[in-house]
Structure 1
Amino acid sequence: MQQAKEEKEELRRQKEEAYQHRMQYWAALAGQQENSRGQSPKKKRSLGFGKTTGSTSSLSSTVSISAVAAEDPNVVALAHIKDLDPSVMEVAWLSSWHRKAKQDHIFAKALLRFGSLYVGDFHARDKSFDGLGELIYANGGRYVGQWKNNHRHGKGIYQSADGYEYVGDWLDGRKHGAGIQTLPSGERYVGYFEDGKMHGAGVFYAANGDLYEGQFQDNHLNGFGKFKKVTGDRYVGNTVGGLASGVGTVSTADGEVYKGHWDKDFRHGSGVCFYPNGAIYSGGWWRGRWNGNGIYVSSEGIKYIGEFSKGKQHGKGKLLFDNGDVFDGHFIHGVAEGSGKTKGTYRFYDSGNMYIGDWVANKRHGHGTYTFVGGSSYTGSFVNDHAEGRGVMTYPNGNTYKGDFMNAEKHGEGVYRWRDGSVYQGPFEHGLIRGYGKIVYATGHTYEGQWHDNKKHGNGKFTYRNGDIYDGEWRADRRHGFGTFTWNPSTPQQESYEGMLDDERRHGRGTYRYADGTVYCGDWVNGKRDGMGTFTWPNGDVYNGQFVDEMQHGFGSFFCASTGDTYEGEWVMNVREGHGKILYASGKVFEGTFHEGRRHGTGIMTYSNGNSYHGVWNRDLKQGGGRYVLHVANGDDADGGQEGKSRESLNLRVFGY
């Protein structure tokens, strides 16, 4: 603590002594100035500060000042000019400096007003610094070099207290000629100066490592030059006011290269730019962005030729894609936009298809026409690149569709016309006829009903040109399920079928009504009566039983309306064949064997009174002997003898078809 206190006291004492010495300096100067008042202007003066002592040498006038200065330990030590490093000064004349012998030049050491100190040649007659000298400024600055008429003139070095340094040529106190200037920030300039400013050829080293080599004017980069940034970016070209202007080339560290015109550090005018990803732009620029007419080729090979604005495609232009597709239209802020007079055209290279119409945000949107190379074309509404809304589709075969679209497919209500004149009107779904619709065929046939995937499916009514009608179920364009088929409706020849169908044929249960009044109600197989059924004739005859291949076959009953008789038994191909029974209207009953529709073989005839005959029949006639069985009141049967020939017979009508 004691040592620190002593050091602090010593420092205070030295500062006090220095202050007292400075007071002596100014007192001495003031005394000389007072004595000089009223003297003849022809008498010589010392450095312009006071009256001479009469000595022939003006050096004697500075003795008192120099003596005082020599005693002051705070005066900056004087440098020997001849000992300065010529390589730093870059002026060879310093190493061969010698004192001038002329009487009007002296070597002086003087402390100037405000504390500046000069040591060097002095022109006594002109009372000015002239020759070689060093000036140490009160603010800490320092100049070593040549002087003329109190101005730095010739070769010299100036250093400021804050680290600024200039080494080079001077003219009338200003930097002029070749020199090196170093700023406190670390920036350095090597080149030519004019009137104190960087002017002419030079090299500028920025504090961050950037370098400029080229022309300067009024302290600014001006003219042709090369600029190298520490980041690796390079510029070669013209500059104005420190900014790239005129023609120049820039190469960035990431590989981008621009060659063309500049204005105030902006790419401006015409130029070409090669981008790191392989893209190329050639054309007009405005304040660093694409503008005017130009050509842009993307890294994928897509080429745009047309107008640009603010760095984007804007106006009329053409896009050539790498796959050969071509778009010719208008752009707004980089995207295809246009309608009406500004509509665009897109040609597909692979397919040959073409679109002409409105565009929004690079997509077909609005009204347009899409033409297929095969001859089909669509004209109508587009939404987000797809046909959507109302439109008309024309096919190469002459067919047309007019109606709703969704996602480029027929979807909604529409009318489809075939070249042959057929017309469908109704709903579509995803390009296919679906729902309830009506078709009128060119032949005159009509169908109205349900559809699925372009086929009649579900319930529907088909009306033939001749008036025939089918009303019922459909499956995959064929009559299938329950339905009614009417032939020659509302005419004497009308026939109808009502029942089940399978793949266009009557199959299952159904009723067929013939034009003559005959009715069949029963089973059908593959379009034919087959299975159990009832056949009713207009005269009242009825068959109820089995059918095979359109014929009564198997077991069945037949009622004859004209006689009232009924046959129950076996049938073969529409004929009674085998075992059967006839119930006569008179009450008799015959049960036995039949052949070719007649009683043939053994049988029993039971009469209404209960008596019966057991015997053999041949073609409806009793043959040979037989046995009668008589019915008596007590319930016993009595056998009778042989009966004579019998002529009884039963003729039954069997309907064949």
Structure 2
Amino acid sequence: MGTFTWASGNKYEGQYKNDMKHGYGSFTWSDGDKYTGDWKEDQITGKGTFIWANGTTYIGDFVVGQRTGTGVQTWKSGDKYEGQYQNNMKHGRGNYTWPNGNKYSGDWKEDQRTGKGTFIWADGDRYEGSWENGNRYGHGKIVFANGSVYEGDWKDDKRTGKAVWKSKGGDQYKGEYVDGEMHGKGTYTWSDGATYKGQWKKGNMEGKGIRTYSNGDVYTGHWMNDKKHGMGTFTWASGDKYEGQYKNDMKHGHGTYTWPNGNKYTGDWKEDQRTGHGTFIWADGTTWVGQWKNGQQC
């Protein structure tokens, strides 16, 4: 047993062997850091406790001065890690708890969440799946506190790739995601039975798609920002049919409307009304060609 004090202010109190720190001892650095535990041939090796001057504490295994093995590290902030270490880094299996209640349990690699793991947020959201460099990456499933579920691909901590999303209320989307939003090709089914199958852009129906409504109506055509926009065909369950241009969810531009009784209008439309030049043909063959305004002949 002995005590050695350096001119720098560092101090060791403990066992020696062959002129080396060996056995059990405490080393205090001039900056306030302190280690108490096992030593082997002048190196911190074995089990011990390291307390940093900033309040962070590690209790566990050491190999040649580095945290390697199993240990528990607690930060002054309240963060806590229990698990495996290698070369001073979280590496292997471990549990990390944040002061706000968030918790991660799973694989680590070089201080990053990498491999398989489960992250539980304080608000009740829960993710189980693959990780890479601290981000959700690969295949994973998240169950939100509100009851909705997403299972599929992830990239850089965002929903990206192919997946299935289901809401607690019964809605479902199956298709492609980019940066956390429905983007690409996909099918959305509402709880009332209505469906949309087609293209998506940043979470909205955009591009070509087919929407079937719960009452039997069907629209096939172009969309923009969740609205019928561009060329399309709308067929009502009643038998009515419109083929033509749309703008902001309304018949707008040039189009043809056919009634179940055989009547037919072909011409201009404005904000869902026959407005402009058009031709109306009755089922008996009578024809009227001229100007229209708000659905009425001028």
TM-score range, shorter chain: over 0.9
* Partner in structure 2 of residue 542 of structure 1: 287
* Partner in structure 2 of residue 424 of structure 1: 173
Partners of 1:296 and 1:280 in 2: how far apart? 6
Find out whether 1:517 has 2:262 as its counterpart. yes
Find out whether 1:271 has 2:16 as its counterpart. no
Partners of 2:253 and 2:38 in 1: how far apart? 83
Partners of 1:336 and 1:551 in 2: how far apart? 76
The amino acid that maps onto 2:286 is D
Alignment of 1:444-483 (within 5 A): 444-483=193-232
Alignment of 1:481-492 (within 5 A): 481-488=230-237
Partners of 1:391 and 1:428 in 2: how far apart? 14
* Partner in structure 2 of residue 23 of structure 1: none
Q: Residue 318 of structure 1: which of 72, 85, 97 is its match?
A: 72
Partners of 2:251 and 2:129 in 1: how far apart? 47
* Partner in structure 2 of residue 507 of structure 1: 252
Partners of 2:231 and 2:10 in 1: how far apart? 78
TM-score (norm 1): 0.44
Q: Deviations over 1:625-654 (max 9, x none)?
A: xxxxxxxxxxxxxxxxxxxxxxxxxxxxxx
Q: Deviations over 1:548-599 (max 9, x none)?
A: 111001xxxxxxxxxxxxxxxxxxxxxxxxxxxxxxxxxxxxxxxxxxxxxx
Shift of residue 433, structure 1, vs aligned partner: 0.8
Shift of residue 278, structure 1, vs aligned partner: 2.6
Secondary structure (helix, strand or coil) at the match of 1:434 reads strand
* Partner in structure 2 of residue 46 of structure 1: none
Secondary structure (helix, strand or coil) at the match of 1:543 reads strand
* Partner in structure 2 of residue 347 of structure 1: 97
* Partner in structure 1 of residue 129 of structure 2: 380
Partners of 1:530 and 1:278 in 2: how far apart? 84
Q: Residue 85 of structure 2: which of 331, 338, 342 is its match?
A: 331
Find out whether 1:529 has 2:283 as its counterpart. no
* Partner in structure 2 of residue 306 of structure 1: 60
Shift of residue 300, structure 1, vs aligned partner: 3.8
Shift of residue 322, structure 1, vs aligned partner: 2.5
Shift of residue 277, structure 1, vs aligned partner: 3.1
Query: Where do 4+ consecutive residues of structure 1 move more than 6 Å?
Result: none
Shift of residue 299, structure 1, vs aligned partner: 4.1
TM-score (norm 2): 0.96
Secondary structure (helix, strand or coil) at the match of 2:69 reads strand
Partners of 1:532 and 1:301 in 2: how far apart? 81
Shift of residue 335, structure 1, vs aligned partner: 2.0
Identical-pair percentage: 36
Shift of residue 506, structure 1, vs aligned partner: 0.9
Shift of residue 366, structure 1, vs aligned partner: 0.9
Secondary structure (helix, strand or coil) at the match of 2:58 reads strand
Partners of 1:325 and 1:293 in 2: how far apart? 22
Shift of residue 466, structure 1, vs aligned partner: 2.8
Query: Larger % of helix: which?
Result: 1
* Partner in structure 2 of residue 569 of structure 1: none
Structural RMSD (CA): 1.3
Q: Residue 261 of structure 1: which of 3, 10, 15 is its match?
A: 15
Secondary structure (helix, strand or coil) at the match of 1:337 reads strand
Q: Deviations over 1:423-479 (max 9, x none)?
A: 111111111110011111111011111101111111111011232110111111111
Find out whether 1:498 has 2:250 as its counterpart. no
Q: Deviations over 1:383-423 (max 9, x none)?
A: 11111111101101111011111111111111111112221
Partners of 2:294 and 2:279 in 1: how far apart? 14
Partners of 1:248 and 1:443 in 2: how far apart? 81
